[in-house]
Structure 1
Amino acid sequence: MSAKLRETADELADVLWREHTVYRDRTGCVVIRGEHVERWISLSTGAGRDEVLLRAGRILDGGTTAPARTEAVASLSAGTTALAAVCRRLLAETAPGPSRPARPSARRDRRNRRPRRSASGRGRHTGLVSWLVVACVAGLIGLYVAGRTGVL
């Protein structure tokens, strides 16, 4: 099965990209790297005898690979063109999303920021109940210390 997987990966790589590298990783998967498109595809044996698990991900700066973003199961008997169609769909899903709008400058951000409020909506001030709890705890500590020293 591993020879068939390697052969299929070589054919698939030729269909997908002109520039590619095909290798076997330490888990036994066959990986196709397209450095110029910053994407990778891996093929590994699937659950069934004729099935292959296809996974796709991005190649990060410096050449390291990011974890797989998408995966699909396909049949090896479907042919190279059908596998290429599945791979193209997976590769399209790994494309980065639209970039976020630029953040306003920190100076403008500080000027227009409202003070943060707590979930209760009263701000960060300590409430009356909290002060009563603190006073009771302080009183209990005072009584304990006074009892130990013999003042009472």
Structure 2
Amino acid sequence: MVGAQLRDTAQELAAVLWREHTVYRERSGGMVIRGEHVRRWISLAPAGGRDEILVRAGRILDGGTTAPARSEAVVPLSAGTGVLAATCRRLLADAAADAARPAPDREAAGRPGGSRKSRKS
């Protein structure tokens, strides 16, 4: 029952968010909405509560792979498409803002990957 309702909700939501989209089921039973033209994705999955879904958003990288979700929210499934769409737009804006931030310098962040000579000397 929840799976069919989640699928129907994802189809309705996809039509509201983007004219061009792909909707498919994940192995875990959740639904994914991909907007290739905007390089973003939305995931809907059952959450802890009976009437709650976990909404996650992220970017589509070069080559079509997906970056991990950068933001998420729990929304009542009964909230309706309008509330879900507003939540998705906020999460997508968060994901876009994260993409616009410059990546930290590896050495400045203390991550491995710098010159080995400079570490040994």
TM-score tier by shorter-chain length is 0.7 to 0.9
1:70 partner letter: S
1:87 partner letter: C
| 1:39-67 residue CA offsets vs partner (Å, 9 max, x unmatched) | 00000001111100001010000000111
Q: Is residue 97 of structure 2 the alignment partner of residue 97 of structure 1?
A: no
Task: Show structure 1 runs of 4+ deviating over 3 A.
Answer: none
2:51 is matched with 50
1:71 is matched with 72
**SS of match in other structure, 1:5:** helix
- Mapping of 1:1-150 within 5 angstroms? 1-95=2-96, 96-99=99-102
User: Percent same amino acid among aligned pairs?
Assistant: 69
Mapped to 1, the partners of 2:60 and 2:48 lie a distance apart of 27
| 1:88-135 residue CA offsets vs partner (Å, 9 max, x unmatched) | 0000000022457xxxxxxxxxxxxxxx9xxxxxxx8xxxxxxxxxxx
Mapped to 1, the partners of 2:12 and 2:95 lie a distance apart of 22
TM superposition shift of 1:83 = 0.3
1:119 is matched with none
TM normalised by structure 2 equals: 0.80
The structure richer in strand per residue is: 2
Higher relative contact order (CA 8 A, sep 6+): 2
**SS of match in other structure, 1:42:** strand
Mapped to 1, the partners of 2:20 and 2:92 lie a distance apart of 16
Gaps of 5+ in 1: 101-115, 117-123, 125-152
Alpha-carbon RMSD across the aligned residues, in angstroms, is 1.4
Aligned residues: 102
Gaps of 5+ in 2: 104-117
**SS of match in other structure, 1:41:** strand
